[in-house]
Amino acid sequence: MDLSIIIVNWNVREYLNRCVESIFKFTQNITFEVIVVDNASNDGSMTELRQLFRDKIQSGQLLLIENKQNAGFSRANNQGLKEAQGNHILFMNPDMEFVENTPRVMKNWLDHHPEAGIVTCKLLFGDKSLQPNIKHHPTWISQAFILLKLHHLFLPKFVKHYLAKEFDYETVSEVEQVMGAFIYISHQLINDLHGWDEDYWLSWEDVDLCRRVQKKGLKVFYLPDTNVIHYESKSFEKVPSVTKQRRFNRSLFIYFKKHHQPWEYYSLMAIAPISVLLAYVVQLFHAKPKPQSRF
pLDDT digits (tens, 9 = 90+) for 121-146: 999 999 999 999 999 999 999 999 99
Considering the entire predicted model, what is its pTM? 0.94
What pLDDT is stored for residue 280 in this prediction?
Answer: 85
Nearest Cα residue to 122 out of 155, 167, 163, 158: 167
Predicted pLDDT at 284:
75
Amino acid occupying residue 6: I
- Give the pLDDT of residue 290: 63
More confident residue, 154 or 98: 98
Q: What are phi and psi of 67, to 5 degrees?
A: -85, 140
* pLDDT for res 292: 65
* Long-range contacts of residues 191-199, Cβ cutoff 8 Å, at least 24 apart: 191/81, 192/216, 195/74, 195/77, 195/78, 195/81, 196/73, 196/74, 196/75, 196/77, 196/78, 196/81, 197/74, 197/254, 198/72, 198/74, 198/75, 198/78, 199/74, 199/254
User: Cα Rg for the chain, rounded, in angstroms?
Assistant: 19
Q: What percent of the chain has pLDDT over 70?
A: 94
Residue range 160-183: average pLDDT? 97
> Tens digits of per-residue pLDDT, 61-110?
999 999 999 999 999 999 999 999 999 999 999 999 999 999 999 999 99
Q: Which domains does the chain have, with CATH numbers?
A: 3-132+167-233 (3.90.550.10)
Average pLDDT over residues 262-269: 97
